[in-house]
Structure 1
Amino acid sequence: MLYSLYEIDTIETYFTNVVASLLAVISRSQCTVPSIQVRVKNREMYALSSSLIRSPALRQGLQMAAASRPVSMKVVSVAETQKDESFFEKNERLGRELSPHLTIYQPQLTSMLSICHRGTGLALGVGVWGLGLGALISSHDISHYVTMVEGLQLSGATLTALKFIIAYPAGYHTANGIRHLLWDTGRFLKIKEVYSTGYAMVATSFVLSAILALL
């Protein structure tokens, strides 16, 4: 295995600094080599040491030294690197919550109104389908069932409460549907406006349901 270019450059830089430091010490002490006095400036010393370290002979020596290093390799199968663990088991082991997860969110007005909008829409759908299928299957018309309810002799308050419960999904879904249509026009989308229109929508749904119940 050969040294990488990064490793070679790091080694060259190290030796360059070492040689430059030695030459600086020699220069400060004003030592003399036989018949030659060494007085070299810092830039000249660095250039000289750099040229020595970057010589092809030194590079070849480093590569030959690296080639002589023992290298051991181990063959590992793919099965050994992969754990037999499912996605849900991993999440459970790491303590990760699934998202979206209703139990980790604090109830808010916006989320509750959204859930109720879907719930009332589902109730209206089931009611319409029930009335339609009942009209096809039943051998009696609606007046027969009205007579049956009148035969129960319920009080006026009880009948009004039952009518309000039946009418509320229609009143709520209508009021909130208008609110959604206003959103589609780009209005009332700020946080304060979303909350204020939410409270106004709930009040409007009660009024509409009460009107339907009193009919």
Structure 2
Amino acid sequence: MVRRNDERRAALVDAAIEVLAREGARGLTFRAVDTEAAVPNGTASNYFANRDELLTQAGSRVYERLQPDEATIRRVSTADRDLETYAQLMRELVERVSSFRTGYLAFLELRLEGTRRPELRRVLTERVRADVEANVAYHEASGLPGDAMAVKLLMLTLNWLIVEQLTLPDLYPEEEREALVKAAVDRIVGAGPAE
């Protein structure tokens, strides 16, 4: 029996993310993952039963790597509960996600692939739904202004801003992106609950 370890599995999944971002879902093969991870051919196939499992694991790993660090969580827990704090948190979120370029691009590839693979679509739907619910629950417990609808609208808005940042990086310079985030918070959250 092949000895499997968590570090090797994580390295293979991270390699899969890099392959997805660079080559797209069609370029994701066990051999491409082995090459990216600099491991002997056949290693990935020892860790994953099939390509679908590898795709699913890559989607989960992207989420793990996008989580804020403990210092950010501590700072947020003691920050003011106003629109300016909210806007700063959203600017940091856009920056954190954008700085993991390959992860977000891989996640977009997974979402596109999910349109062709019902099981992957099911897993991604569950994961994204759980993320939305967790964000709403965190927001409601945080005391920040706005309601659940505002959280969802900001997620939709900022996700597309991140896509623009990653695919057309010269479209919105940094100062304009920051202004767009602030305007989104002011207009979506500051406007009050939707009727």
Q: If the TM-score is normalised by the length of the shorter chain, which range does it land in?
A: under 0.3
RCO (CA 8 Å, sep 6+): is it higher in 1 or 2? Answer: 2
Q: Normalising by structure 1, what TM-score? A: 0.25
Give the number of the structure whose residues are more often helix, by fraction: 2
- Structure index of larger Rg: 1
Q: Normalising by structure 2, what TM-score? A: 0.27
